[in-house]
């Protein structure tokens, strides 16, 4: 298991166990992280899993692919440079301790 942290809209920090090789969104859903809706089920279509990367070990998060970048640009509320869709992030051991802020305003 890889421990990552989600900060919910309310400011609550949630330490979540994520499984290597699985989309990060699954870990957030399993832990019922507030604000991670994941309406499209993980196909990078809805942006309701939108988060901001607050901190992550260097090199642990490959850059978004085109589908993710497009959905962030056109669907996400208040996209920023550090916006990501956790459904498009595959959990790796390198991500231990990474911190994600759940985006607000859906």
What residues make contact with ligand FES under the rule CB under 6 A?
A: 25, 38-40, 42, 44-49, 71, 85, 87
Min dist CB 45 to ligand FES, Å, is: 5
C-alpha to C-alpha distance for 8 and 59, rounded to whole angstroms: 24
24 contact partners, CB below 8 Å, separation of at least 6: 4, 18, 86, 87, 89, 90, 91, 95, 100
Min dist CB 67 to ligand FES, Å, is: 9
Closest to ligand FES by CB, 7 vs 38, is 38
Min dist CB 42 to ligand FES, Å, is: 5
∠ CA 98-99-103 to the nearest 5 degrees?
140
Closest to ligand FES by CB, 2 vs 42, is 42
C-alpha to C-alpha distance for 66 and 44, rounded to whole angstroms: 10
Closest to ligand FES by CB, 28 vs 56, is 28
C-alpha to C-alpha distance for 78 and 86, rounded to whole angstroms: 16
Min dist CB 33 to ligand FES, Å, is: 13
């Amino acid at each position: 298991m890889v421990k990552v942290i989600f900060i919910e809209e309310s400011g609550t920090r949630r330490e979540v166990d994520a499984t290597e090789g699985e989309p990060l969104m699954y870990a957030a859903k399993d832990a019922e992280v507030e604000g991670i809706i994941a309406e499209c089920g993980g196909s990078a279509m809805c942006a309701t899993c939108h988060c901001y990367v607050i901190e992550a070990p260097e090199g642990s998060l490959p850059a978004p692919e085109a589908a993710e970048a497009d959905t962030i640009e056109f669907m996400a509320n208040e996209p920023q440079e550090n916006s990501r869709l956790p459904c498009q992030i595959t959990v790796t051991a390198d991500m231990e301790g990474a911190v994600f802020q759940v985006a607000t305003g859906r």
